[in-house]
Structure 1
Amino acid sequence: MGAPPVLRAENTTVVRDGVPILDDVTLTVRPGEHWALLGSNGAGKTTLLGLLGAQTHPTRGRVEVLGRRLGRVDLRELRTLIGHVSPRHPLRSALAVRDVVLTGATNSVERPPRWRPTPAQEERADRLTDTLGLGDRRAARWPTLSQGERGRALIARALMPEPRLLLLDEPATGLDLPGREQLLDALDALGAEHPSLATVTVTHHLEELPSGTTHALLLRGGRVLARGPVGDVLTGELVGACFGLPLALERHGGRWSVRTARGTTGVRPGPPPSPVPRPGTPPPRPGSG
């Protein structure tokens, strides 16, 4: 039967002020899978990532994270088992890279007073900085780092507690081209070194997806437009419908490029498309819509 899912959301809905932000979303992520979560602003990506990261509860439906059902578990405890990377990390001190990474062991922004890492934690921090290409920058202070170096340091920090799940919230935000490529190379190396690690990456841009991406979910208007293996989901037709633009997609060496398909009339902005049908749901009868 294989390993149990790392994430499972079933018919999940989130309502705020009477408005559905997410509507009947279903998703299963298994160990070793690397998911892309794509959609326009307001599609519900941040809300869904909040559920997957044990930040919030659904209004309706069921969400299980690392085998624990939301609503029946302490969210604070569960969050310590999840690696979460955001470019908006609120660090204000001039910590060295090594100290930033070590804060992942305490799930804190700063190093706690009087806390001392164990030799095993120090060894792991050094190994992770090497894996993320920061071995020669361990002593560099946070204010002196480039955006790309900060992003890689935060990934190393998120991996300190050896999580089975890594959530990446627009990790390439603010990066120039060399910084983005260094980050994506590091993510691909990470997947090769930790084959059971599952990841979910939120982005607006297909060019920012690592070549190791295995699956994708497209959201529009809070509903699932498509989900599944990247070869089935990341097509010009589906991604164009997701963003309301006629698009042409190409893939080379595992990486995507996108351009507007000028002169194409097959995709037009409009109301959110029908969601992916639930398993076992019969197709609608002609004229029933």
Structure 2
Amino acid sequence: MPELPEVETTRRGIAPHITARTVSAVVVREPRLRWPVPEELGELLIGGVIQTVDRRAKYLLLRTERGSLIIHLGMSGSLRIVPADTVPRKHDHVDLVFDDGLCLRFHDPRRFGCILWTADDPLDHVLLASLGPEPLGASFSGDDLYRASRGSKTAIKPYLMDGKQVVGVGNIYASEALFRAGIHPQRKAGAVGLDRYRALADAIRAVLSEAIAQGGTTLRDFVNESGSPGYFQQTLNVYGREGEPCRRCGAPIRQLKLGQRASYYCAHCQR
């Protein structure tokens, strides 16, 4: 599933091509995504100008003077910039065509993504209003994570993946950040001390920043706006490496299930 680095990579890739461009056509080949694509999307968008391309958590926000598109890539979605006359592939569900002849094309084999519209501030939308702080923003800190976690009996890994605590720290990056901070993924969130939370916040910022710099992680479906994969998977320390030697101590990487998700860790380095 595309996580924060993949969504931010997409945002940075598409923004230069569509900002200040006028939407000249909207093509909806398949409206049945996670939620139906608004029937009036063409009426709402054609003639509108993309003012900014923002990100909140794993949502992309394409703001116009009339309102905003809210886009989520789901489990297998991607956005590509292509010439408008490019023959669509299977699972190319929605096109936004611009006045310069380029097209923003939404591709989603599993159709768990979404394209929604709001005339109001998208940050007040029901999907975004209750989200926690951005991990790369000034409001995110280990001190706040520590205070919020007091009394929690939830394991630290699923706790980090709760978007009300901090957004965008999905399965891959939670495993990697916990490894860097030396925290076992099963340790109860309420049992982690302040200094370790500070180290964990630093690890989250570092892992996400490095992943963005390398274009995200491609394990199966993700590609950026030009169709290229991410490369962060080449430097993963624990995720997907069960049985392989830890890059730090040489002990075999282990796997366990937490919250129905595979978690990878080093039993020697993480306590």
Q: Relative contact order, CA 8 A, sep 6+: which one is greater?
A: 1
TM normalised by structure 2 equals 0.29
Structure with greater proportional strand content: 1
